[in-house]
């Protein structure tokens, strides 16, 4: 189709006639211009005046959260005092450009956050691009507590394969010591598995979808402890006597700590001795060896006459010569049982094969079994035998602070109608080896922590984001009553050696 053309002249004439009309003064048009100008310059003046004299709250974009409400009249705690008031055109242009591309200038606010909340920028040392505090913690959202941190903030890295790939590469260049940022007191024995070669950089979206299976399970970890204990034998064995009129249950040995989050450590005195009472003389079941120190056991055996004399007194024998006779009789009948002092000591330390329980004898539950019944015992020339110390782990999953109090007995429709029981997660009743790690697998948790289970399953439900202060005393739950520091420290060291050993063999 041919175009309708006009000459340049025609076009310019048309424009001039329009402009001419505007150039002519007209009362209405004049009023409109004045009003616009007033609004424009008045607005700028108001901003400047309020900056100088107005109440800060005027600019507030919403009430501050409960924790920061005390700064409601002191905006500069978080906002630089002169930020936002450009001093010249260049600054205005720069600031507009910055806003246009990056939105609010979070970097400046982040620095302010960190003036009060120190060391909160660290999550993991191999993070490639940090997130702004305000991405996760939003201010000006209302006067209540700050909103819980949403999982998409975590997924912005954890579900981004490029970010995770780059983090794995960065992590590979860093020393091992840069990781594992969860300090604990020396009393606490924490099972920290070696960081995998690519770090914790699996890509996943949510807990119930592809969140990795827990490392303990994934790597088929074994418990390095050498104390012999068979859960199944004790929980289902027909010959296991009742204690306090009750069948053995989990709670007899595993008692919740003060806050109910974790269990107290098992001890020989509280949890084994009632049945395994370290008797060594079938005729005198009251005689019991001291526990927990091989040297003390040898000293006890070397002073048997004194201990039999004490027993005589307890039995009501008063006259010295009668006591002497009693002691002599007992030593002699004991010799009939074991032949010699050396033989007795050998049995005490090394018998794994039990003397048969004296079912007929009142007051006995079981006759003595050697220390080796429960322990790994090694002979040492010219010294008392070495007992390998048991290592009871206090925390198995340090990356996710669990809470028993929120789970035991919980009823959830379709999963635990009658209340959640220990064995639903731990399956101890079917475990026969100490080396079994009785920790739950992911499926145990997904049953509830998923849209189907209808229990919250945000990342922040189960994880901390900020590396805790690198200061042992401040780390929660670090003080365990009843365990001496040196003892725990030693246990922790033993465990470290064991784990280090397994790590070395694994990387060879």
Length of the chain in residues, anyone?
508
User: Residues 390, 395, 399, 404: what is their CA dihedral angle, to the nearest 10 degrees?
Assistant: 150
> Of 413-452, which residues contact ligand HEC (CB under 6 A)?
415-416, 420, 422-426, 428-429, 434, 436-440, 444-445, 447-449
Please, what's the b/e burial string for 416-446 (b: 16 or more CB within 10 A of its CB; e: otherwise)?
beeebebeebbbbeebeebebbbbbebebbb
Closest CB to ligand HEC among residues 258, 274: 274
- State the nearest-atom distance from the C-beta of 296 to ligand HEC, in Å: 8
Binding-site member from 11, 30, 92, 410 for ligand HEC (CB under 6 A): 410
Task: Write out the two tokens for 295.
Answer: 């040297």
CB of 494 to ligand HEC, least distance (A): 10
For residues 182 and 469, what is the distance between their CA atoms, to the nearest angstrom?
Answer: 8
Give the closest residue to 366 by CA, choosing from 276, 233, 274, 268: 276
- CA contacts within 13 A on the Cβ side of 75: 18
Determine the size of the site formed for ligand HEC (CB under 6 A).
163
Q: Would you put residue 414 in left (φ > 0), alpha (ψ -120 to 50) or beta?
A: left
**Cβ contact 132:120 at 8 Å:** no
- Binds ligand HEC (CB under 6 A): choice among 11, 38, 45, 114: 114
Q: Which of 309, 323, 457, 492 binds ligand HEC (CB under 6 A)?
A: 457
Residues 50-69 that bind ligand HEC (CB under 6 A): 56-57, 59-61, 64, 67-68
Handedness of CA 498, 501, 505, 508 (dihedral sign): positive
Question: Which residue in the set 304, 312, 327, 371 belongs to the binding site for ligand HEC (CB under 6 A)?
Answer: 371
Stretch that binds ligand HEC, among 24-32, 149-157, 308-316, 327-335 (CB under 6 A): 149-157
Instruction: State the residue number with the nearest CB to ligand HEC.
Output: 199
In whole angstroms, give the CA distance from residue 135 to residue 200: 22
Nearer to ligand HEC, 33 or 461 (CB): 461
Position among 120, 346, 480, 503 found at the interface with ligand HEC (CB under 6 A): 120
Q: Which of 285, 345, 407, 495 binds ligand HEC (CB under 6 A)?
A: 407
Question: Please, what is the minimum distance in Å from the beta carbon of residue 382 to ligand HEC?
Answer: 18
Report the residue from 45, 274, 299, 504 that binds ligand HEC according to the rule CB under 6 A. Answer: 274
Binding ligand HEC (rule: CB under 6 A), the pick from 80, 85, 95, 156 is 156
Specify the stretch interacting with ligand HEC by CB under 6 A; choose among 87-95, 301-309, 334-342, 453-461.
453-461
Among positions 189, 278, 282, 492, the unique one binding ligand HEC when judged by CB under 6 A? 278
Contact pick of 399, 478, 494, 502 for ligand HEC (by CB under 6 A):
399
CA distances from 479 to 185, 467, 482, 484, 485 (A): 7, 19, 9, 10, 10
Residues 208-237 that bind ligand HEC (CB under 6 A): 211-212, 214-216, 223, 225, 227-231, 233-235
- Least separation in angstroms between CB 79 and ligand HEC: 6
User: By rule CB under 6 A, what string of x and - marks binding of each residue 324-363 to ligand HEC?
Assistant: ------------------------x-----x--x------
Spatial CB neighbours of 233, under 8 Å, sequence gap ≥ 6: 240, 432
Cβ–Cβ under 8 Å, residues 348 and 280: yes
Task: Please list every residue from 298 through 327 that binds ligand HEC, using CB under 6 A.
Answer: none
Residue whose entry in the numeric block shows the structure tokens 């992911």: 442
Is residue 472 near ligand HEC by the rule CB under 6 A? no
CB 188 within 8 A of CB 478: yes
* Closest-CA residue to 463 (of 398, 410, 406, 408): 398
Question: Residue 320 Cβ, how far from ligand HEC at the closest point, in Å?
Answer: 31
Question: Which CB sits closer to ligand HEC, 13 or 293?
Answer: 293
Integer Cα distance of 492 and 479 in angstroms: 14
Smallest gap from Cβ 36 to ligand HEC, in A, equals 25
Q: Which residues contact 283 (CB under 8 A, 6 or more apart)?
A: 330, 333, 334
* Binder among 6, 71, 97, 497 for ligand HEC (CB under 6 A): 71
Beta carbon of residue 28, minimum distance to ligand HEC (angstroms, whole number): 37
Return the number of the residue (326 or 401) whose C-beta is nearest ligand HEC.
401
Distance separating alpha carbons of residues 293 and 282, to the nearest angstrom: 22
Q: For residue 208, count other CB atoms closer than 10 A to its CB.
A: 16
Q: Please report where in the chains the tokens 């009750």 appear, as a residue.
A: 246
């Amino acid at each position: 189709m041919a175009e309708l053309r006009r000459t340049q002249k025609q076009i310019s004439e048309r424009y001039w006639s329009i402009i001419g009309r505007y150039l002519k003064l007209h009362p209405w048009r004049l009023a409109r211009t004045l009003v616009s100008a007033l609004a424009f310059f008045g607005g700028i003046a108001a901003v400047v005046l309020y900056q100088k004299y107005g109440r800060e709250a005027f600019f507030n974009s919403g009430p501050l959260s409960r924790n920061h409400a005390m700064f409601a009249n002191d905006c500069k705690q978080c906002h630089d005092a002169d930020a936002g008031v450009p001093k010249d055109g260049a600054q205005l242009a720069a600031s507009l450009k910055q806003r246009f591309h990056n939105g609010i200038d979070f970097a400046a606010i982040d620095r302010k956050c960190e003036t009060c909340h120190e060391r909160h920028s660290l999550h993991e040392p191999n993070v490639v691009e940090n997130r702004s505090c305000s991405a996760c913690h939003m201010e000006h959202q209302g006067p209540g507590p700050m909103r819980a941190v949403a999982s998409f903030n975590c997924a912005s890295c954890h579900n981004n394969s490029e970010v995770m790939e780059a983090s794995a590469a960065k992590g590979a260049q860093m020393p091992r010591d840069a990781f594992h940022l969860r300090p604990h007191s020396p009393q606490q024995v924490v099972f920290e598995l070696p960081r995998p070669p690519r770090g914790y950089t699996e890509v996943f979206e949510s807990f119930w979808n592809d969140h990795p299976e827990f490392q303990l399970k994934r790597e088929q970890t074994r418990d390095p402890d050498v104390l012999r204990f068979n859960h199944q034998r004790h929980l289902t064995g027909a010959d296991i006597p009742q204690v306090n009129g009750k069948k053995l249950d989990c709670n007899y040995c595993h008692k919740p700590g003060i806050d109910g989050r974790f269990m107290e450590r098992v001890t020989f005195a509280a949890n084994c001795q009632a049945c395994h009472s370290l008797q060594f003389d079938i005729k005198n079941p009251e005689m019991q060896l001291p526990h927990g120190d091989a040297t003390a056991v040898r000293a006890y055996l070397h002073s048997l006459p004194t201990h039999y004399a004490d027993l005589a007194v307890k039995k009501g024998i008063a006259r010295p010569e009668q006591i002497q006779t009693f002691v002599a009789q007992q030593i002699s009948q004991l010799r009939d049982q074991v032949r010699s002092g050396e033989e007795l000591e050998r049995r005490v330390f090394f018998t794994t094969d039990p003397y048969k329980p004296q079912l007929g004898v009142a007051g006995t539950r079981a006759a003595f079994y050697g220390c080796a019944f429960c322990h790994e015992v090694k002979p040492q020339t010219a010294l008392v035998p070495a007992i390998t110390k048991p290592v009871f782990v206090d925390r198995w999953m340090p990356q996710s602070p669990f809470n028993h109090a929120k789970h035991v007995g919980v009823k959830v429709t379709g999963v635990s109608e009658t209340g959640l029981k220990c064995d639903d997660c731990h399956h101890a009743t079917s475990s026969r080896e100490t080396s079994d790690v009785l920790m739950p697998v992911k499926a145990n948790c997904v049953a509830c922590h998923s849209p189907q289970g209808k229990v919250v399953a945000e990342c922040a439900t189960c994880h901390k984001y900020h590396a805790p202060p690198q200061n042992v005393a401040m780390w929660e739950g670090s003080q365990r009553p009843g365990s001496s520091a040196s003892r725990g420290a030693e246990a922790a060291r033993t465990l470290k050696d064991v784990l280090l050993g397994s790590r070395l063999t694994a990387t060879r």
